């Protein structure tokens, strides 16, 4: 299962990795060792990669879209520029340094290392162009040269940024593949009918549900994934009920904060199924005239599902229960 970064929180890495050690005495003994094991070294490296992904607040894809939407048309007009903006310049070097630190770690992570290297290399090629244009924009030199430098450098900048976007998406894909493997392993290794098992199951089936909701995030609807989405959501509900039961066996108060977020996620998913079945999304898509300007229900539903998922993952990472 793969969700592009804007649709997923890489914070799940902390959950999937931590879960593998829940209730595992051998893992606790290993943690006391002075030298990290291969597994621990992989966790450290993996966390570095995910920290890198999470540190990019505006993706390079978004930066390219903005530049092509605003700067490129203005440059083509050939008129004196009134404004010129470059996005993500400070992010380039910071991201490359983070990637290089992870790549320097000896433990290999096959799913991510090659994409991370390609991402770092692409950023290295973009950096000098971006920095030059950033200084040009910051000093408003475009007002004195009527945009001449921007027009000269723009094609090379767009080409380099496009390569970064391709590499960035490959990097996210690599993390997602590894993240899915970690989640599945943690779930399968956890002792059945325990808090750790149900917690791992919520992560696993929560991610699976989000994966089947990709059409909703794209504004198209569930389509052929409707039944699979429902099945993953039902499994998520099963894990949530087991988690609630086990936590209440240990403490009558249970874990109300966690369950509030789980229930919110489940409710958002069922709302999507309701609006799919009653034709609400199709009705919105068929709007005409002024009504077409209204925000479609599917957008609100997608945002609700995403936010509830992110809240759940954040709560799981904190590990209150």
Q: Which pLDDT tens digit goes with each residue over 76-128?
A: 988 888 999 999 999 999 999 999 999 999 999 999 999 999 999 999 999 99
What is the pLDDT confidence band of residue 34, given thresholds at 50, 70 and 90?
Answer: low
Paired tokens of 34? 């002075």
pTM value is 0.75
Closest CA to 177 of 262, 113, 269, 119: 113
State CA 48 to chain mean position distance: 15
259-302 pLDDT, tens digit each: 999 999 999 999 999 999 999 999 998 988 876 778 899 999 99
pLDDT at 11: 44
193-240 pLDDT, tens digit each: 999 999 999 999 998 999 899 999 989 999 999 999 999 999 999 999
| 203 contact partners, CB below 8 Å, separation of at least 6 | 12, 15, 16, 19, 183, 186, 187, 313, 316
Paired tokens of 19? 């879960």
pLDDT at 47: 87
Closest CA to 205 of 240, 247, 250, 174: 240
* Cα–Cα dist 203/309, whole Å: 10
Instruction: Kindly state the average pLDDT of the residues 182-190.
Output: 89
Q: Is the confidence at residue 143, as pLDDT, over 90? A: yes
Cα-flanking dihedrals φ and ψ of residue 320, to 5°? -65, -30
SS3 85: coil
Q: Return the percentage of the chain with pLDDT > 90, whole number.
A: 67
Closest CA to 274 of 214, 218, 233: 233
Paired tokens of 121? 């290399």
pLDDT at 10: 44
Instruction: Kindly state the average pLDDT of the residues 239-244.
Output: 97
pLDDT at 1: 44
């Amino acid at each position: 299962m793969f969700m592009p970064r804007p649709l997923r929180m890489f914070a799940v890495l902390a959950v999937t990795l931590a879960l593998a050690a829940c209730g595992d005495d051998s893992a606790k003994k290993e943690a006391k060792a002075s030298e990290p094991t291969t597994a621990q070294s992989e966790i450290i490296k993996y966390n570095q990669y995910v920290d890198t992904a999470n540190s990019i607040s505006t993706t390079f894809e978004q930066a390219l879209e903005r530049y092509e939407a605003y700067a490129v048309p203005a440059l083509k007009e050939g008129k004196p520029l009134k404004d010129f903006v470059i996005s993500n310049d400070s992010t380039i070097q910071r991201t490359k340094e983070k990637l290089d630190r992870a790549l320097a770690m000896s433990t290999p992570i096959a799913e991510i290392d090659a994409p991370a290297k390609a991402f770092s290399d692409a950023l290295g090629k973009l950096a000098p162009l971006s920095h030059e244009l950033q200084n040009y924009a910051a000093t408003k030199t475009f007002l004195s040269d009527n945009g001449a430098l921007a027009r000269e450098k723009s094609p090379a900048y767009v080409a380099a940024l496009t390569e970064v976007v391709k590499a960035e998406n490959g990097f996210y894909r690599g993390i997602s593949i590894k993240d899915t493997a970690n989640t599945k392993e943690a779930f399968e290794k956890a002792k059945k009918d325990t808090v750790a098992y149900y917690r791992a199951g919520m992560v696993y089936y929560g991610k699976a549900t989000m994966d089947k909701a990709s059409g909703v995030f794209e504004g198209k609807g569930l389509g052929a994934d409707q039944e699979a989405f429902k099945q993953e959501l039902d499994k998520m509900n099963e894990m949530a009920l087991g988690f609630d039961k086990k936590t209440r066996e240990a403490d009558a108060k249970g874990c109300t904060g966690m369950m509030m977020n789980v229930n919110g996620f489940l409710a958002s998913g069922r709302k999507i199924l309701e609006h799919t079945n009653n034709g609400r999304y199709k009705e919105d898509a068929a709007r005409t005239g002024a009504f077409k300007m209204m925000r479609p229900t599917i957008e609100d539903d997608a945002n609700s599902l995403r936010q509830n998922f992110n809240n759940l993952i954040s709560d799981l990472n904190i590990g209150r229960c």
